[in-house]
Structure 1
Amino acid sequence: MVSQSQTASLNIMSSSIKEPQLTIQSFHQYSSLISIKLSTTNYLMWRSQITPLVRSLGVFHHLESDEVPSDEIKDDAEKKSPNPVYATWIINDGLLLSWLCGTMNEEMLSSIFDAETARQLWKSLEEQLLPITIEKERNMKNMFMTIKKGSRSLNEYLKEFKWICDNLSAIKKPVSDFDKVFRFANGLGPKYENFRLAMLTKPPYPTFSQFVLALQGHEQSLETLRDEEKIFLEHEQAFYGQRERGRGSRGGRFNSRGRGFTPA
């Protein structure tokens, strides 16, 4: 039978922070789900993987709250005793802190070496990396609005354009398919004006993938035409070269000293 003091203790514990009983294996099974190491350039992407896993473990409050359970509890007689919830919290926080550190590269680890709790670590990362992320967003948006193909090949232009869009998506600022199509088309230059007008004069507008495929087909047609013109010009030059050499061999060399000729 539970005594009155035990009942008071249980009531206090039930009103405290709820802590699951986690082990190293609890975190180890999730390690394979983290596909990247945290660096100064991928904070939002890393956080988007970490957050749902920590929530599923039931310890996200270690990251979002400064509240820590008391290390002691009192019964009705004001008698103190160790709080088992606190002991569990300490173990869980240490495991979470170690696990988070294991998902970072060496550069990031060196910048948060003094963090003693998972909460301190989380706040430190936010303070360091969010400003960098905001600056990166500004730079990526500027690059997106000003990118031009110029004298580069179509594949080089496409590769850089996709890199910019991927970086914007990584910082949670994805570009719509519509904006991709028109921004990419505007950067192609006057050489592709007829193609751009044919594709984008009126709806329905193509998706970005459809536009790129059509553009690659158009580019291949241009290359084929250029190759045919080159071959034609080479044949023309060879033909006229042979013709001129033929005229020279039939004309020979005039000699006025032959029989029947009187020197002037």
Structure 2
Amino acid sequence: LLWETMILPIIRGNKLDGYVLGTKLCPPEFLPRTTPGSTVKIPNPEYEEWLSNDQLLLGWLYSTMSSDIASQLMQKATSKELWDGAKELSGAQTRSRIVYYKAELQKTKKGGMKMEEYLTTMKAIADNLAMAGNPIPLPDLIVQILSGLDAEYTPIVTLLTDKISVSWIELQTNLLTYESRLEQLHTYQTDGIQANHASAHFATSSTTNRPFTSTNGRGQNRYYNGRGARGRSRGRGGRSSVSSSSSFCSRRIVSASCHLFYKSTTLFHNLGMCPQIMKCRYNWSYIKF
């Protein structure tokens, strides 16, 4: 079909379309001439002109075909025979292409593709269907594109589906903008989580060298953890005050960590995503923004 679409305008421009479409029939090769007592045949000049034009057109049509196609259409005597044979051959191939491209349109999903690549792929499939003589209406193409998006695109899918009509440019603009927004949100989340881990690591490291103190009325014992140790003792018994390494974090660390994460996720307005805040949410006196 694509070959026919490209070739036919050129043939018409040269006023030769009647040869391939069958409207300019082949005239008789000879004309009768009657003489007294006999009838003879003489060459028909119109036939010679027709044959010359037809053979030139036949050779030109062969030159426009690939060797694989031309080899299947050998032994065609006229341009119309070649034209009809090419249409019949392309018809069988076209039907198989239509089935193939329809299946591709159904199974193609965005997945890991960028939005621009996904839209280009779907548009190319639709264009191939159109060239095969089976164009898909734009609303149907848009529905197929939206159905191939992931769940995170549900808000924009709902918005576009509710519209009465959507142009191709409008579809591209909305989907590309939404993808860009999602990428920004993912970046904010990633930065917040990294800051969270860094703060938690610092809090854990700072507790490894915390002192253990024991005091009573008569004396005091002090020990330090770490690579080395030093101590001082007087008396015995009494009460102890322990700053354990299992403590979650100091007030200052919690405040800094949660504040940093809150800033990086302002767009979400979801403080519950911060692990430190989840642990401290019932003791807000520890968190000072």
TM range (shorter): 0.7 to 0.9
The amino acid of 1:199's aligned partner reads: L
Cα deviation digits, residues 77-114 of structure 1 (max 9, x gap): 44422111111122212211111111112211222232
Find the aligned partners of 1:147 and 1:256 in 2 and give their Cα distance: 66
The amino acid of 1:211's aligned partner reads: L
* Residue 231 of structure 1: aligned partner: 191
The amino acid of 1:81's aligned partner reads: I
* Residue 123 of structure 1: aligned partner: 84
Deviates more, 1:173-182 or 1:95-104: 173-182
Q: Structure 2 length normalisation: TM-score?
A: 0.67
* Residue 105 of structure 1: aligned partner: 66
Find the aligned partners of 1:259 and 1:245 in 2 and give their Cα distance: 25
Indicate if the aligned counterparts of 1:180 and 1:208 stay in contact, CA closer than 8 A. no
* Residue 48 of structure 1: aligned partner: 5
* Residue 73 of structure 1: aligned partner: 31
Find the aligned partners of 1:258 and 1:49 in 2 and give their Cα distance: 96
Find the aligned partners of 1:165 and 1:233 in 2 and give their Cα distance: 42
Deviation at 1:213?
1.4
Deviation at 1:227?
0.7
* Residue 64 of structure 1: aligned partner: 21
Pick the structure with more helix per residue. Answer: 1
Deviation at 1:159?
3.1
Deviation at 1:133?
0.8
Identity %: 25
* Residue 168 of structure 2: aligned partner: 208
Give the aligned length: 220
Find the aligned partners of 1:240 and 1:256 in 2 and give their Cα distance: 26
Find the aligned partners of 1:171 and 1:261 in 2 and give their Cα distance: 97
Is residue 43 of structure 2 the alignment partner of residue 82 of structure 1? yes
Q: Structure 1 length normalisation: TM-score?
A: 0.73
Match of 2:148 among 172, 181, 187: 187
Indicate if the aligned counterparts of 1:178 and 1:208 stay in contact, CA closer than 8 A. no
Find the aligned partners of 1:104 and 1:256 in 2 and give their Cα distance: 91
Q: Decide whether aligned partners of structure 1 residues 257 and 119 sit closer, same or farther in structure 2, where only a CA change above 3 A counts.
A: closer
Runs of 5+ consecutive residues of structure 2 not aligned to the other structure: 212-223, 237-289
Find the aligned partners of 1:191 and 1:184 in 2 and give their Cα distance: 15
Indicate if the aligned counterparts of 2:146 and 2:157 stay in contact, CA closer than 8 A. yes
Indicate if the aligned counterparts of 2:58 and 2:79 stay in contact, CA closer than 8 A. yes
Indicate if the aligned counterparts of 1:256 and 1:262 stay in contact, CA closer than 8 A. no
Deviates more, 1:192-201 or 1:253-262: 253-262
- Which structure is higher in RCO with an 8 Å CA cutoff and minimum separation 6? 1
Runs of 5+ consecutive residues of structure 1 not aligned to the other structure: 1-43
Deviation at 1:121?
1.3
